[in-house]
Amino acid sequence: MKTAQLAVFDLDGTLTWHDTLLPFLAGFWWRHPLRWIHGWRLAPALFAFLFTRDRGMLKSRAIRSVMGGADRASIEAWSQHFVDTVVLRRGLRPQAMAAVEAHRAAGDRLVLLSASPDLYVPRIGRQLGFEMTLCTEVAWQAGRLDGGLLTPNRRGAEKCRCLEALRRQFPGVTIVAYGNSGSDLAHLGDADRALLVNADAAARRAADRAGIPVADWR
Per residue in 101-132, pLDDT (tens digit) is 999 999 999 999 999 999 999 999 999 999 99
Q: Rounded to whole angstroms, how far apart are CA atoms 7 and 2?
A: 14
Res 2: pLDDT: 64
Res 32: pLDDT: 85
pLDDT band at 98 (very low <50, low <70, confident <90, very high): very high
**Segment 127-174, tens digit of pLDDT:** 999 999 999 999 999 999 999 999 999 999 999 999 999 999 999 999
Q: Mean pLDDT over residues 206-217, rounded? A: 98
Q: Mean pLDDT over residues 53-68, rounded? A: 90
Domain ranges of the chain: 6-215
Does the pLDDT at position 1 exceed 70? Answer: no
User: Is the Cβ–Cβ distance between 78 and 145 less than 8 Å?
Assistant: no
Res 55: pLDDT: 87
β-pairing, 138-141 vs 144-149, is antiparallel
Res 52: pLDDT: 77
Express as a percent the part of the chain with pLDDT over 70. 97
Q: What is the CATH T-level fold of the domain 6-215, as seen in this structure?
A: Rossmann fold (3.40.50)
**Segment 31-46, tens digit of pLDDT:** 988 776 777 677 777 7
Q: Which residue has the higher pLDDT, 48 or 148?
A: 148
